[in-house]
Amino acid sequence: MTKSLVIGQTNVGKTCFAINFADYLGIKELKFTIRQPAGFLSKQTYELQTALKELVCPEEHTTKEIQEIQLKLPAGKGYQRVNLIDSCGLIEGIHPQEEIRLAMAQTLRKIQESNIILHLIDLSKLNTRRLKELPELDLEIYNYCKTKKCYAILANKIDLKIARNNLEFLQERLGHEIIIPISALYQQGFKEVKKFLLKNL
Ligand SMILES: Nc1nc2c(ncn2[C@@H]2O[C@H](COP(=O)(O)OP(=O)(O)OP(=O)(O)O)[C@@H](O)[C@H]2O)c(=O)[nH]1
Ligand SMILES: [Mg+2]
């Protein structure tokens, strides 16, 4: 089955996107397969609201493992299946906690195994940088994935005013065609994400 990895810095909205995108596709019960960095595998089923409450959080590194959900995308008279993989957020430099370092290494391994990369960038964070420059980590993901993988940037938190101002900067810097503006929280831009996935399954 096609594997689509949701990747990005910590706290950009990866888990919120994975859960709400599943909701958008009509999934009532979220069945996660959880892969710990040490290799242990478990399953967990959530109601939508419980998943949002327990797994989405303003703290950094809420997700410390791989969380996979199987999605069915309506295509013609049938469905196309895709495995949506939520991952531990990445940071620049070396994290002091071993648990997080191992989880980040697991995320990096998943890049190799995945067919499609959905790279989330938090638009609202872009202008906290003095030169309005893109974070090095996002540039590295972009440079690696754009040539090797089927790749899109999901420019997240477009519901925030500050984010809308920064979208233009991102588009100028990396090109319009690769960027899909979304709000993971309010399910905006999901039609375009679905279209992108269907085109590439
Ligand atoms: N305004 C706004 N907030 C969002 C959006 N998406 C996510 N958030 C908020 O951003 C915070 C982080 O969301 P998560 O989904 O936990 O982010 P993550 O990337 O999975 O974070 P880690 O697992 O900790 O790396 C939460 O407080 C969310 O409510 C969005 O589209 N708009
Ligand atoms: Mg998360």
Which of the 8 DSSP states describes residue 29?
E
> What is 48-103 written as a DSSP string?
HHHHHHHH--SSTT---SEEEEEEEEEETTEEEEEEEEE-PPB-SS--S-HHHHHH
Going from the Cα of 76 to the center of ligand 1, the distance in angstroms, rounded, reads 32
How many beta carbons lie within 10 A of that of residue 108, not counting itself?
14
- Which tokens in the block code for residue 2? 């096609």
Check the CA dihedral 146-27-86-9 and report its sign: positive
- Which tokens in the block code for residue 58? 């303003």
Going from the Cα of 58 to the center of ligand 1, the distance in angstroms, rounded, reads 6
**Residues 68-100 pLDDT 10s:** 999 999 988 999 999 999 999 999 999 999 999
Q: Ligand 1: which residue has its CA nearest to atom 1?
A: 157
Going from the Cα of 77 to the center of ligand 2, the distance in angstroms, rounded, reads 33
9 Cβ inside 6 Å of ligand 1: no
State which residues have CB under 5 angstroms from ligand 2, the bound ion.
Answer: 14-15, 62-63
Q: Is the confidence at residue 41, as pLDDT, over 80?
A: yes
Q: Is the confidence at residue 150, as pLDDT, over 60?
A: yes
Q: Tell which residue, 169, 104, 123, 118, has the closest CA to residue 146.
A: 118
Q: Which ligand is nearest to the CA of 62?
A: 1
Q: Is the confidence at residue 133, as pLDDT, over 90?
A: no
**pLDDT of the residue at 121:** 97
Q: Is the confidence at residue 161, as pLDDT, over 80?
A: yes
Q: Is the confidence at residue 32, as pLDDT, over 80?
A: yes
Amino acid at 62: T
Average pLDDT over residues 53-72: 97
Domain count, the chain: 1
Q: Is the confidence at residue 129, as pLDDT, over 80?
A: no
Spatial CB neighbours of 126, under 8 Å, sequence gap ≥ 6: 132, 134, 166, 169, 170
pTM (two decimals): 0.97
Average pLDDT over residues 169-173: 89
Query: Which residue out of 30, 34, 57 has the highest number of ligand 1 atoms within 8 Å of its CB and is therefore the one to mutate?
Result: 57
- Which residues partner with 116 through β-bridges? 4, 150
Q: Ligand 1: which residue has its CA nearest to atom 23?
A: 63
**pLDDT of the residue at 126:** 87
Which atom of ligand 1 lies at the shortest distance from residue 19's CA? 15
**pLDDT of the residue at 131:** 53
pLDDT band at 149 (very low <50, low <70, confident <90, very high): confident
Q: Is the confidence at residue 200, as pLDDT, over 80?
A: yes
15 Cβ inside 6 Å of ligand 1: yes
Which atom of ligand 1 lies at the shortest distance from residue 10's CA? 25
10 Cβ inside 6 Å of ligand 1: yes
The rounded percent of the chain whose pLDDT value lies above 70 is 97
Whichever domain contains 164, its CATH number is 3.40.50.300
Q: Is the confidence at residue 27, as pLDDT, over 70?
A: yes
Q: Which ligand is nearest to the CA of 95?
A: 1
107 Cβ inside 6 Å of ligand 1: no
Mean residue pLDDT of the chain comes to 94
Spatial CB neighbours of 123, under 8 Å, sequence gap ≥ 6: 155, 156, 157, 158, 160, 162, 163, 164, 166, 167, 170, 181
Q: What domain range is 176 assigned to?
A: 2-200
**pLDDT of the residue at 132:** 63
